[in-house]
């Protein structure tokens, strides 16, 4: 049976597509799945660094597509997790070095060998985006709880629908429970209400993610933080499990005081 | 101290997320209604085809556009009718 090709996209840059792709890929591999990560951000390759595999690149996606390298020779095997591979983007080529048709063929080829093919999309809605979605069967949209990011996500949802990728699922990234509690950040319900799509998970804003990224190690592999747990939950949901949303914040003294005084306030729903 | 307690229990009304949500809602109304000229034209053609089954219309005349009024969007179509066709009368 052919594997699932899932594109991770957002419209806006810097919201966490690459971080999400790396962690979901590593998380799926940790469950024993065969996973290939595809960096579709041609000219701005990133996923290799986030995965800590940048020193092992020999060939890239464009060379494979152009027939200058064989696919199996371009795939980098992650030594930490059995069954995890990366197909890096080209760094010195233009986005239009690859066509959507070529991406479709490439993804189909990979899907024959892997359970999951995760495609990390570049920002924007132009050629690079169309390449990234070309071979996908499913889409995950990443957004942060900010006006510009949610607006772009809405645009992307429309474009995915127009390209036969209906029902994308949403990952809300960099949520800050304390700001939500203060009323200074849109909460999960606000974002879901506005975008009207299914929630796949919520990842809190967490310094540990930046630290892990500095080291080139996806936090999902051995992190003990809530953010790592959030990725593990998302992975299980992708696998079809019904995982309850965890609470993102412990009850602080303010909560206890509020409860004591009887002033209820909505808790931050979790990841 | 009073101010501090006020802050602690302050409602969400004066917080920035309300502003964010409201701005987002408004901007999305605008974004979502922008149909590409091709899509608008295709819709116009199909509308003409459907309406022509019932009414004889002036093929050159129809105007179709999306108009915004605050938060709501309306599809406004002006389609000059020449005469009611037999099919429509028979269908009564
Ligand atoms: N949940 C998070 N908490 C803290 N930092 C994050 C989180 N998600 C992403 N980041 C950081 O945000 C920056 C942009 O993330 P990245 O995945 O490269 O976004 P994109 O691929 O959408 O451009 C990176 O520095 C990354 O480490
Ligand atoms: Mg990226």
Contact A185 B17 (CB under 8 A): yes
Among all bound ligands, the one having the nearest atom to the CA of A14 is 1
Domain boundaries, chain A: 4-261
Contact A187 B32 (CB under 8 A): no
Contact A263 B9 (CB under 8 A): yes
| Spatial separation of the C-alpha atoms in residues A60 and A42, rounded to whole Å | 10
The model's pLDDT over A204-261, given as tens digits with 9 standing for 90+, comes to 999 999 999 999 999 999 999 999 999 999 999 999 999 999 888 765 565 666 666 6
The model's pLDDT over A88-98, given as tens digits with 9 standing for 90+, comes to 999 988 888 99
Mean pLDDT, rounded, for A193-201: 97
Among all bound ligands, the one having the nearest atom to the CA of A17 is 1
- Alpha helices for A126-206 (secondary structure H): 127-134, 147-162, 177-182, 188-195
Which of residues 32 through 51 in chain B touch A, CB cutoff 8 A? 32
Write out residues in chain B with pLDDT < 50, as ranges: 1, 6, 12, 92
Side-chain half-sphere CA neighbours of A172 within 13 A: 30
Query: Could you tell me the pTM of the whole model?
Result: 0.82
Please give the pLDDT value at position A255.
60
β-pairing verdict for A4-9 and A138-143: parallel
Q: Which residues line ligand 1 (CB under 6 A)?
A: A 10, 13-19, 46, 173-174, 203, 205-206, 209-210, 213, 227
What's the whole-number average pLDDT of chain A? 93
Residues facing residue A138 across a β-bridge = A6
Terminal Cα distance for chain A, rounded: 31
Q: Which CATH number fits domain A4-261: 3.40.50.300, 2.40.50.140, 3.90.550.10, 3.40.50.1100?
A: 3.40.50.300
Ligand 2 centroid–CA A120 distance in Å is 7
Chains A, B: CB contacts within 8 A come to: 45
ipTM > 0.85 (yes/no): no
Task: Specify the higher pLDDT residue, A189 or B42.
Answer: A189
């Amino acid at each position: 049976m052919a594997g699932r090709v899932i594109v991770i996209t957002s419209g806006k840059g810097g919201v966490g597509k690459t971080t999400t792709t790396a962690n979901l890929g590593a998380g799926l591999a940790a469950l024993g799945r065969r996973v290939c990560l595809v960096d579709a951000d041609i000219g701005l390759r990133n996923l290799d660094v986030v995965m800590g595999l940048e020193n092992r690149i020999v060939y890239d996606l464009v060379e494979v597509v152009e027939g200058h390298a064989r696919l199996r020779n371009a795939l980098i095997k992650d030594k930490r997790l059995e069954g995890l591979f990366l197909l890096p983007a080209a760094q010195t080529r233009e986005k239009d070095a690859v066509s959507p048709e070529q991406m479709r063929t490439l993804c189909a080829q990979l899907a024959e060998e892997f359970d999951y093919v995760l495609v990390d999309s570049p920002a924007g809605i132009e050629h690079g985006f169309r390449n990234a979605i070309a071979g996908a069967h499913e889409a995950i949209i990443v957004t942060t709880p900010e006006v510009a990011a949610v607006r772009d996500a809405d645009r992307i949802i429309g474009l995915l629908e127009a390209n036969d990728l209906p029902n994308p699922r949403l990952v809300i990234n960099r949520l800050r429970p304390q700001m939500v509690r203060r009323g200074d950040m849109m909460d999960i319900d606000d974002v879901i209400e506005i975008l009207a799509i299914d929630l796949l998970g919520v990842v809190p804003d967490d310094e540990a993610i930046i630290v892990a990224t500095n080291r080139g190690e996806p936090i999902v592999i051995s992190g003990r933080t809530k953010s790592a747990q959030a990725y593990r939950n998302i992975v299980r949901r992708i696998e079809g499990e019904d995982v309850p949303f965890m609470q993102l914040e412990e009850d602080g003294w303010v909560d206890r005081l509020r409860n004591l005084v009887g002033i209820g306030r909505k808790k931050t729903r979790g990841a | 101290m009073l101010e501090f307690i006020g802050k602690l229990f302050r409602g969400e009304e004066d917080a920035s997320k309300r502003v964010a949500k409201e701005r987002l809602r408004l901007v999305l109304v605008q974004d979502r209604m922008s149909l590409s000229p091709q899509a608008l034209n295709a819709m116009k053609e199909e509308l003409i085809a459907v309406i022509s089954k019932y009414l004889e219309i002036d093929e050159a005349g129809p105007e179709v556009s999306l108009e915004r009024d605050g938060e709501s969007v309306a599809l406004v179509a002006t389609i000059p009718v020449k005469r009611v066709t037999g099919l429509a009368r028979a269908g009564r």
